[in-house]
Amino acid sequence: MIGAFQYLILREAVNRLRRQALRLKSPRYALALLVGVAYFWFIFGGPRALEGSPRPPGPFGSLFHAGGALLLALYVAGAWIFGRAEALAFRPAEVHFLFAGPLGRRDLLNYKLLHAQIPLLFTSTFITLATYGAGLPWWLRFPSVWVLFATLQLHQLAAALVHEAAHQQGLIGWRRNWLPVTIFGTAGAALLLSLSGAYAAVRAAPGFPAALEVLDRALRAPVPTVVLAPFRWVLAPVLGSASAWPAAIGVALLVLVLHYLWVLRSDTAFEESAAAAGERRARAAQALRAGGGWRSYSRALRPETGTRRKSIAPPAFKLSLVGRAETALVWKNLTLARRNLSRTTPVVLAATPVALIAMFQAGGAAPGEALQQVGSMALMFGGLLVILGPLWVRNDLRMDLLRIDVLRVLPLDPARIVAAELTASTLTASLMCFALLGLGAVLLLLSGHLPLPPGYFLLACAGAILAVPALIALGVTVQCAIALTFPAWVHLGRERPSGVEAMGQNILTLAASMLLVGVLLLPPALVGGLAGVMLALQWGPAAPVLGGLVALGVGYGEVLLAARALGRLFERTDATAIGLTS
């Protein structure tokens, strides 16, 4: 059956590549692919990614090896503690085609392992290119990374089989797998007890380097050395030197073979759970492609537990029965953005700065310095969101253009429809920016280390409140103008494609939008600067502020004029001719 499995898997891969190659007949896909490949080639160092240069060990070289082994141990612990049937999942087509045939459990497991080699090879290639200069040439790095990930995949599969046996047979299932359960439980308890004794010493260290030295000594103690030995063995070919590679890869291959025999010797009946897990994974992938986000993806992966009513997030605000009709479009798009957020998002956003402040203080920074560092990070990410927010936030025409036939029957002027669409994305991205910039400003005020005198700092904050929505509105206007003018070059709807060509298309869109936004910023800058110079003689120090207000007025005027122009373009757009309708 191995030969038949290889044929099926290779034909599937070839057919997928052929479908992707046929898309290159379109200029936009070809150009996006070239840009995406050039981007990755530049990021990974070009020709240097295929070379290996010896790198001298740093002061914490042994900690780097032991820390990597500890991270692998934590990953394996998660597979054992939270083992799920998704590791055994077969796609619905595979279930219908393979499960009905005369195949045993070992045949199905061999097929799953062979089918997993294609993503493993891509992952190994990606890691090999991303770790150029790691001390090993690429022909040694690639098999080392493949052995590491293949071993982890086999271990995760074995843990899922043990959990499935316990789920089906209860205590008898645990007893039948007493050896791996005992080894894992004993090793985990011993490692936890050994490292718990070093926790107080790490906290009492005078600084971050001293804490790393204490942790390094703790990981080189006898118990952690023995427990983490298998993880060091599979990491040794990746992190070791070229001279020690033959012996290290031999030991790692032995660990891989032992895992393979462990999986094949399992007699757990996993077919029913694998089929159900495959259906859940297919639904989750569909939800993710539809733009539902990771919240919808994780919800689709959960097993069905009866007819539990799904909770729906409340709308963004209460919609009045009377008022301007275009407000309903803003309400709809803001509610969409609200329901795409997870309930844990506010908790994570609130806990992240607290955790960062605690981390900087643990590293030896004073309270004021920790507040300053975290505040500066918040300001930096807030400024980055001003630029990238219009590209990420898409609750506007890029989402609704596929329903252009529905929008056109609304008794509204097209310019008002476009203005409502622009308003929704502008408000969403502006609130996100205000949250980050406000957090950064508050932390800097509390730290006492302001980059400007207090009066000027507060004036800059007030200016940001007025300027951020204008900049984001210009960016959103440009994005919607590109969607209306070149709809084939923009991802419309909730689906978010992935891959190298999608990355290239995003880079092209970002470059074009930044260029257009720069052009749109020229008139406000020129008019505002000229007004500031003319008012300087009469108003003195207040002239820059007045000039800035004039520039903001010109910027908002540009958005209004663009909304009218896009309204006329929206009215002339032929949905059938360009294939926007679904």
In the predicted structure, residue 223 carries a pLDDT above the cut 80: yes
> Cα angle at 203 between 200 and 205, to 5 degrees?
110
Helix (H) or strand (E) holding 473: helix 454-485
3-state secondary structure of 158: helix
- Considering the entire predicted model, what is its pTM? 0.69
The sign of the dihedral angle between the CA atoms of 376, 377, 378, 379 is: positive
Output 271 or 353, whichever has higher pLDDT.
353
**Nearest to 385, CA basis, from 339, 349, 356, 336:** 349
**Nearest to 110, CA basis, from 267, 252, 1, 273:** 1
Listed ranges 47-56, 429-438, 455-464; the one with the highest mean pLDDT = 429-438
In the predicted structure, residue 105 carries a pLDDT above the cut 60: yes
Residues 61-71 have a mean pLDDT of 69
Confidence of residue 67 (pLDDT cuts 50, 70, 90): confident
Q: At residue 145, what is the residue type?
A: V
Residue 452 per-residue DSSP state: S
**Nearest to 484, CA basis, from 533, 561, 414:** 414
Distance CA 374, CA 353 (A): 7
In the predicted structure, residue 31 carries a pLDDT above the cut 80: no
Residues 565-576 have a mean pLDDT of 81
Output 245 or 307, whichever has higher pLDDT.
245
- Find the Cα–Cα–Cα–Cα dihedral 364, 370, 373, 378, rounded to 10°: 140
Contact of 142 with 127, CB cutoff 8 Å: no
Quote the pLDDT of residue 503.
73
Q: At residue 365, what is the residue type?
A: A
Confidence of residue 569 (pLDDT cuts 50, 70, 90): confident
Confidence of residue 534 (pLDDT cuts 50, 70, 90): confident
Quote the pLDDT of residue 254.
94
Burial of 561 (0-12, 13-18, 19+ CB in 10 A): exposed
Distance CA 62, CA 65 (A): 5
**pLDDT per position as a tens digit, 119-176:** 888 888 878 877 765 567 878 888 999 999 999 888 888 888 877 777 666 666 566 6
**pLDDT per position as a tens digit, 304-360:** 544 444 556 677 678 877 878 888 888 888 888 887 776 677 777 788 888 888 877
Residues above pLDDT 70, as percent of the chain: 78
Looking at 151-275, which runs of residues are DSSP E strands?
none
In the predicted structure, residue 61 carries a pLDDT above the cut 80: no
Which tokens hold the place of 432?
Answer: 């996100």
**pLDDT per position as a tens digit, 353-394:** 888 888 777 666 778 888 888 889 999 999 999 988 888 888
Distance CA 341, CA 332 (A): 15
Quote the pLDDT of residue 582.
45
Distance CA 424, CA 394 (A): 9
Quote the pLDDT of residue 151.
92
State the helix-helix crossing angle for 138-169 and 105-115, rounded to 10 degrees: 140
Quote the pLDDT of residue 125.
84
Of 209-213, 440-444, 460-464, 548-552, the least confident: 209-213
Which tokens hold the place of 157?
Answer: 């599969």
In the predicted structure, residue 395 carries a pLDDT above the cut 70: yes
Contact of 375 with 451, CB cutoff 8 Å: no
* Mean pLDDT of all residues belonging to the chain: 79
Quote the pLDDT of residue 577.
46
Nearby residues of 63 by Cβ (< 8 Å), 6 or more positions away: 212, 215, 216, 219
In the predicted structure, residue 60 carries a pLDDT above the cut 50: no
Nearby residues of 462 by Cβ (< 8 Å), 6 or more positions away: none
Output 170 or 249, whichever has higher pLDDT.
249
Listed ranges 13-27, 60-74, 297-311, 463-477; the one with the highest mean pLDDT = 463-477
Quote the pLDDT of residue 381.
92
Quote the pLDDT of residue 169.
64
Listed ranges 179-183, 287-291, 349-353, 489-493; the one with the highest mean pLDDT = 349-353
Residues 70-85 have a mean pLDDT of 77
Widest distance between CA atoms in the chain: 92
Residues above pLDDT 90, as percent of the chain: 13
Confidence of residue 474 (pLDDT cuts 50, 70, 90): very high
Confidence of residue 57 (pLDDT cuts 50, 70, 90): very low
Quote the pLDDT of residue 34.
78
Q: Taking the CB of residue 375, how many other CB atoms lie within 10 A of it?
A: 24
Quote the pLDDT of residue 115.
87
Of 31-35, 272-276, 389-393, 415-419, the least confident: 272-276
3-state secondary structure of 222: helix
Q: Which position has the token pair 């050039």?
A: 38
The sign of the dihedral angle between the CA atoms of 112, 116, 118, 119 is: positive
Burial of 254 (0-12, 13-18, 19+ CB in 10 A): exposed
Which tokens hold the place of 202?
Answer: 């790490």
First to last CA, the chain: 42
Distance CA 243, CA 237 (A): 10
Q: Taking the CB of residue 547, how many other CB atoms lie within 10 A of it?
A: 22
**pLDDT per position as a tens digit, 406-443:** 888 888 888 899 999 999 999 999 999 999 999 999 99
Contact of 52 with 135, CB cutoff 8 Å: yes
Q: Taking the CB of residue 190, how many other CB atoms lie within 10 A of it?
A: 14
3-state secondary structure of 493: coil
